[in-house]
A and B are shown apart, each in its own frame.
Chain A
Amino acid sequence: MISDQLATAPWLMWFSIAGVTLFLIMAFNALAAVYVERKVSAFVQDRVGPMGQGAGLHAGKWGLLQTVADAVKLLTKEDIIPRAADRKLFIMAPFVIFIGAFISIAALPFSSIIQVIDVNIGIFYILATSSLGVIGLILAGWSSENKWSLYGAMRSAAQIVSYEIPAALSIIVVIMITSTLNLQGIVEAQGGIVWGFLPNWIVFNNPFAFLAFFTYFIAGVAETNRTPFDIPEAESELVGGFHTEYSGMRWAFFFLSEYANMFVVCGIASVTFLGGWQSPIPGFMNSPFWGLFWFMSKVLFLMFIMIWFRWTFPRLRVDQLMSVAWKYLLPISLINIFGVGLWILLVGA
């Protein structure tokens, strides 16, 4: 009876629809991003990447179905759990990471009308949820009963906790300028023109905000564990890092979460600094559906830059990684806050 009532309750229906949609977005994002990653890496490295040549349909035209084939392969693989592993935690870990990314995407404003939950402390919420993933990483590293995994987990815990701070401090700059924590409010505050010709995005608002954008983006790359900050899974040192012992679909969930995290970090960057769904030319193509287009193009552009980083840079060492966070990014973001405060006082937001 109670279940009947629950099933007919409109909020539950909407939540299920939203959940399924979000999952599809994440899955499609991962499929597309992996394909782009492989193609971009191939072009960077003077190769062609996945191609569908030869007789029959191998991987579609230009290898477009390659990631689909990979996904099918991962789904049908044997599920291996090491005998020494802590079974419960081992099974739980990929989902914990996944949930962190999943509930963060829910609060991202895809356009002025497309958003799953519009919370009034949106930015705060996303910062909190996107760091949930680290619990999953530690669980995975600990439960695998493998020294490499443990190293990977310890490194990633230290790394993510360190880089949260400059990331959050850079976001404070945005909050100071827009004086709201609501993501829609932040985007709405970025309409119009500044300096005569530039869109009124926060990145162009003042020099300190410009710097804050880069601080946030670097910290964001580190939070997603990507090169040059990919030490938790450094394949040439730690074999696979925290996911060494994972295979098949469980491993795919780590992968899915990695790309979902990239999406979240780039999403936050474009919402807070690059005007979210605002058009680059104010007033031009600014309807809610074009807003989706603008938001997605900003996010995908930033994701492309992350991919570009990965195939260009070597990897930092664990202590150098820490010094980047604490010795450079942290002071810079503190100076940014101070500078933006002065700017608001003297020039106005």
Chain B
Amino acid sequence: MTERLIKNSFIHGEEMILNIGPQHPSTHGVLRLRVKTDGEIVSEVTPIIGYLHRCFEKHCENLTYEQVIPYTDRCDYIASMNTNFGYVVAVEELMGIEVPEKVEYIRIIMAELNRIASHLLALGTFGLDVGATTPFLYMFRDRERILDMFEMVCGARLLYNYMWVGGVSHDLPVGFVEATFKFLDDFEREIDEYNNLLTFNKIFIERTADVGIMTPEVAIDYGVSGPNLRGSGVKWDLRKNDPYSIYDRFDFNIPVGEGTMGSVGDCWDRYWVRVLEMHESVKIVRQALQQMPKEGNVHEALPKKVRPPKGSVYKRTESPRGDLGYYIISDGKPSPIRLKMRSPAFTSLSVLNEISRGWMISDVLAVLGSLDIVLGEIDR
């Protein structure tokens, strides 16, 4: 299927190497793509990364465990709550800390709200990549409301440093629960608006359906995870398959791509899975807000000193981009001897060449948009 266009074209010209990025409107940051093209048709895509490399993992070896948290913010800066979450859950497992009930609920609410915000950005920029400007601004309008709520909670809008080992930095402020319920009610209506404007637009379907098909086999071979894997029809979500925190208490579905508009695993499916996931996140936040205990001290379980015993831990969580893992080796000192982060966007990017070969330049950028990469997390 991917060789379709190459086979069907009768005229072959001279191959040209086209450099896309690192400064280009559609590379979602500082990604550089070296694209080998024959006219409009692409025969090879080589992603070149590292323009945002900040030695995250090496830095962590010289930081105390608490000091690592703000650095995780800056890895996946679109979903900082989720990157915080994965790290603190890993350290807590290493130290054997039980966090209070209320903290668990707050963390889930924050993680799911941030998942919505992250998906909104992913869908909006995907729309922008295929030329639709307006949905992007609509989605930013709603993302703004989520950021406002985060600001209410922790004072920050992008890099929160909210989740601490053993707790969270601040308790929920007065009025947060009401504001969140109000947002969720409005937001479900807004999703219909996006669907009318972009999802079921004929041109958008033409551009995305049957384009950049990632079969389940390819996805699994490359280790793709998260919405990209589910878009290929594989029902795999760590919130269900390997529940961490208290995800096993909530009732939600795992949406998978079904090839509604084209084949399973095309760009449209990856897009649609994210839309459905926003519905599911809304469900989870609603349940969490209802079940959350009113009383409780969020600082109750904060350890005096974060100094895990000798040993290692690998903990993975479901970030908006997929399977986010932290491997931490401790030798009993205040800072980790080694910290490795498994980045889901990195594996998603690695599949780009496989699924966009044989398509056109415009399709490469559409596929890249549908993979929803964040360069901060890829380069670390």
Contacts and interface: CB of A to CB of B under 8 A. Distances in A.
Interface in B1-56: 16, 18, 24-26, 40
Interface string A29-45: 00000000000010011
B16 A313 contact: no
A153 B57 CA distance: 45
A153 to B, nearest CB: 13
Contacts of A320: 206-207
A313 B131 CA distance: 7
B61 to A, nearest CB: 39
Contacts of B204: 314
B69 interface: no
Main secondary structure of the interface of A (DSSP, over half): loop
A236 B25 contact: yes
Nearest to A42: B137
Interface in A307-322: 311-320
Contact of B201 (A44, A237, A313, A318): A313
A239 interface: yes
Nearest to A312: B134
B192 to A, nearest CB: 16
Contacts, number: 74
B207 A314 contact: yes
A186 B24 CA distance: 48
A184 B133 CA distance: 40
A230 B131 CA distance: 9
A224 to B, nearest CB: 16
Given A147-B18, A237-B26, A316 B203 contact: yes
A45 B134 contact: yes
A227 interface: yes
Contacts of A319: 40, 360
Contacts of B128: 236
Contact of B131 (A45, A147, A227): A227
B25 A313 contact: no
Interface string A42-70: 00111100000000000000000000000
Contacts of A147: 16, 18
Contacts of B18: 147
Contacts of A318: 40, 360, 362
A237 B137 contact: no
B173 to A, nearest CB: 27
A47 B131 contact: no
B207 A311 contact: no
Q: Residue among A47, A234, A237 with the most chain B CB within 10 A?
A: A237
A151 B361 contact: yes
Contact of B137 (A45, A151, A227): A45
Contacts of A312: 134, 197
Contact of B207 (A230, A239, A317): A317
Contacts of A47: 137
Nearest to B364: A237
B138 interface: yes
Interface residues of A, number: 26
Nearest to B129: A236
A231 to B, nearest CB: 8
A136 interface: no
B131 A311 contact: no
A228 B360 contact: no
Contacts of A151: 40, 361
A318 B137 CA distance: 25
Contacts of B363: 317
B141 interface: yes
A314 B362 contact: no
B134 to A, nearest CB: 5
Given A235-B25, A237-B26, A314 B40 contact: no
Contact of A236 (B131, B134, B203): B131
A319 B138 CA distance: 29
Contacts of A239: 24-25
Nearest to A231: B362
Contact of A237 (B133, B141, B365): B365
A319 to B, nearest CB: 7
A44 B133 CA distance: 10
B198 interface: yes
Given A312-B197, A315-B130, 12 more contacts: A41-B134, A45-B134, A45-B138, A147-B16, A236-B26, A313-B132, A314-B130, A314-B198, A315-B203, A315-B362, A317-B207, A317-B360
Interface of B: 16, 18, 24-26, 40, 127-134, 137-138, 141, 197-198, 201, 203-204, 206-207, 360-363, 365
